[in-house]
Amino acid sequence: MTTTSSLIPTLPGRSYADPDVFADEQAKIFESLWFCAVRGEDVPRPGAFRTVQVGRESVIVVRGRDHRLRAFLNVCRHRGARLCEEPAGEVRRTIRCAYHAWSYDLDGRLAAAPNLAKMPDIDRVAHGLIPVHLREWLGYAWVCLAAEPPSFEETVTGAATERLGDLAAIERYHVEELALGRRISYDVKANWKLIVENFMECYHCATIHPELVAVLPEFAGGYAAQYYVGHGAEFAERVEGFTVDGGPGFGKLPDLAREQDRRYYAITVKPQVFVNLVPDHVIVHRMFPLAVDRTLVECDWLYHPDVVASGADLSRSVELFHRVNEQDFDACERTQPGMSSRAYREGGVLVPSEHHIALFHQWVNQRLRG
């Protein structure tokens, strides 16, 4: 007689603690898929740039003189020196190597070098910066290091469709037109997968998120919004807005459908983006895995431009998810040491309300096998 357990096994502990596994993930996941790098408004003018760590590579995202965003590997083609050391900055005309003064136009073409006139055979395009694929969505620049990127529609925008049931549902928030109200960076001493898994489930919500459960009482039952396609968690009856005390927010974004009001939606865009949708603002998390046990998380709170321009006090609005972040990341850091324990050598288990995390584990294993 066959018995079926209500529990599903997780990945083994070494998946979260072995540097060799992490190196494999860097190559086969973060350097092979679309990666959300920077928000467009962070690179506002021609010559403005940001550098970002994508897997094992440093990437420059720069605004060209034609106002287009482009991305390049942050490596001089002469002798391999890093071109831009700072995380952000602005150049006047060219990106110049501080070692031998090779300089590159904002479109990546080799512009100048000492004695270059004596080397007329040099192809300035072929010896220009190595380009990185770039797409823009939700107001962010997404880059891909793969020679042939996967379908953006299937792997990125498709995640929103899969979660919400309809791409138009996220388009009504006009995230690309929102303004950055607050940004907080968190240096989390935990493996990136622990953070993804935490975001996907709410079995922990009643235990560590009292403020969130007060606003979204259904989370106390342990089922996260992502458990159901198209479902948005409903605000508590007496809650006026998505704020730390349930007080008023800033009014519904203009084009939301009636069923999107007083609801919270969450989307995971694998491998490193979380999108949180509420009626008056959007919260976007971007993860930057730096080591097997260290992940930088950059969290943006985005509001209607009029709200930000007015100088409105965003503190009660920001504070709710800031507390959620701190509570979640503390839990992930509490979990990380256990990944190296012999007690977790074979992994743990998922309860029924967490079963959808098994699909994430399958996805990771498929990427690594591939």
Q: Between 78 and 225, whose confidence is greater?
A: 78
Q: Encoding tokens for residue 162?
A: 């899969």
pLDDT at 1 over 80: no
The string of DSSP codes covering 64-102 is -TTS-EEEEES--TTT---S--SSEEE-SS-EE-TTT--
Domain 34-144 has CATH 3.30.70.1290: no
pLDDT above 70: percentage of residues in the chain: 98
Q: Encoding tokens for residue 302?
A: 């985005």
Please state the domain extents for the chain: 34-144, 166-369
Q: How many residues are given for the chain?
A: 370
The span from the CA of 134 to the CA of 108, in Å, is 14
Average confidence (pLDDT) over 214-228: 82
Q: In the β-sheet with 48-54, what is the strand arrangement from edge to edge?
A: 35-39, 140-144, 131-137, 69-73, 57-63, 48-54, 88-90
User: Could you check whether 34-144 and 166-369 share the same CATH topology?
Assistant: no
The model's pTM is 0.96
pLDDT at 2 over 80: no
Least Cα distance to 51 among 39, 42, 61 occurs for: 61
pLDDT at 206 over 60: yes
pLDDT above 90: percentage of residues in the chain: 91
The second-level CATH assignment, the architecture, of 166-369 is Alpha-Beta Complex (3.90)
